[in-house]
């Protein structure tokens, strides 16, 4: 039982927690992330999660968060307090927007929101561009927003000169509220 597993208080040395492919549907509120002070990688991908616990913000050592392939609708605003985050894989969910706090993730190198229901982005994303790109490592500096409902004449044009938004709609943003 996951609840019995996560109530264990022996997670202070844990560096990676992989709960992917477990058909999880709960909100995971029973997990005390505050005890996982050394956790660097959290993989919750390929489940049926509809929300994430707010207490994930206490993961001060987290470098990689994998939440792709779930049924997530909302990314908690508290995500912006995980300053150590380098990789955020949030593709293949049902996100319609991104919290403004995403702009506080100054160490972010990879951000994947492909295959969601996004229509626009918060201007705070300009705070983290350009990503920490390393030309010798093709895995860094990735920003993927393909296959969303993002219109071609809006979103981040003030801070990104060259961006490819493949697979997005071609509608205008005149009727969209600003983020």
Query: Given pLDDT bands bounded at 50, 70 and 90, which one contains residue 159?
Result: low
Cα–Cα distance, 74 to 71 (Å, whole number):
9
What pLDDT does 131 receive? 57
Q: Which residue has the higher pLDDT, 136 or 26?
A: 26
**Cα dihedral 31/17/103/122 (nearest 10):** -70
Eight-class DSSP state of 178: P
User: Residue 44: is its pLDDT beyond 60?
Assistant: yes
More confident residue, 104 or 3: 104
Q: Are 92 and 114 in contact (CB under 8 A)?
A: yes
Q: What is the DSSP letter of 129?
A: P
């Amino acid at each position: 039982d996951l609840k019995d597993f996560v109530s264990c208080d022996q997670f202070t040395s844990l560096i990676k927690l992989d709960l992917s492919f477990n058909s999880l549907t709960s909100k995971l509120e029973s997990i005390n992330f505050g005890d996982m002070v050394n956790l660097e990688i959290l993989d919750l991908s390929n489940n049926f999660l509809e929300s994430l616990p707010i207490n994930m913000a206490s993961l001060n050592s987290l470098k990689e968060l994998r939440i792709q392939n779930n049924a997530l609708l909302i990314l908690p605003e508290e995500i912006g307090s995980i300053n150590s985050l380098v990789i955020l894989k949030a593709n293949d969910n049902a996100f319609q927007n991104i919290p403004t706090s995403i702009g506080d993730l100054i160490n972010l190198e990879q951000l994947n929101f492909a295959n969601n229901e996004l229509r626009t982005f918060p201007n705070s994303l300009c705070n983290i561009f350009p990503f920490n790109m390393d030309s010798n490592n093709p895995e860094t500096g990735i920003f993927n927003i393909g296959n969303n409902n993002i219109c071609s004449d809006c979103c981040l044009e003030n801070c990104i000169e060259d961006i490819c938004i493949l697979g997005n709609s071609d509608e205008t943003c005149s009727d969209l509220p600003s983020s």
